[in-house]
Amino acid sequence: AQSVAQPEDQVNVAEGNPLTVKCTYSVSGNPYLFWYVQYPNRGLQFLLKYITGDNLVKGSYGFEAEFNKSQTSFHLKKPSALVSDSALYFCAVTPRGGGGNKLTFGTGTQLKVEL
């Protein structure tokens, strides 16, 4: 069975500083990996995904994520945080092939960016 761990319930960072939101996963075979963001009282919005190829994936709003197969991690990063980045972030995984329709989400990390 696949699983996702987001070890930090909350991450606090000052505006202008770099941010990292951590994600590790467990899945059979090679995964598809995703990051989503949720603003208050809204549905989830897609940020970026890893399918294959370059381990550094660039996405919306200046976010990027680095796929590390040996560490089974897919950490979300941004070089310079904005107050408007404050939101709930979810990492998700789905295996290729069989079971590929089922996306498993982590429990979410609340990002708070302060002035």
Partner 1 sequence: NAGVTQTPKFQVLKTGQSMTLQCAQDMNHNSMYWYRQDPGMGLRLIYYSASEGTTDKGEVPNGYNVSRLNKREFSLRLESAAPSQTSVYFCASRYTPGGEQYFGPGTRLTVT
| Residues of the shown chain interacting with partner 1 in the complex, contacts defined by CB under 8 A | 9, 32, 34, 36, 41-46, 49, 51, 90, 94, 96, 100-108
Nearer to partner 1, 17 or 60 (CB): 60
- The distance of closest approach from Cβ of residue 36 to partner 1 in the complex, given in angstroms and rounded to an integer, is 8
- The distance of closest approach from Cβ of residue 43 to partner 1 in the complex, given in angstroms and rounded to an integer, is 4
Nearer to partner 1, 2 or 15 (CB): 2
Q: Is 5 helix (H, G, I), strand (E, B) or coil?
A: strand
Report CA dihedral (83, 35, 49, 16) to the nearest 10 degrees. 20
Spatial distance between the Cα atoms of 87 and 2, rounded to a whole number of angstroms: 25
- The distance of closest approach from Cβ of residue 115 to partner 1 in the complex, given in angstroms and rounded to an integer, is 27
Spatial distance between the Cα atoms of 99 and 61, rounded to a whole number of angstroms: 30
Nearer to partner 1, 108 or 111 (CB): 108
Report CA dihedral (46, 38, 58, 115) to the nearest 10 degrees. 160
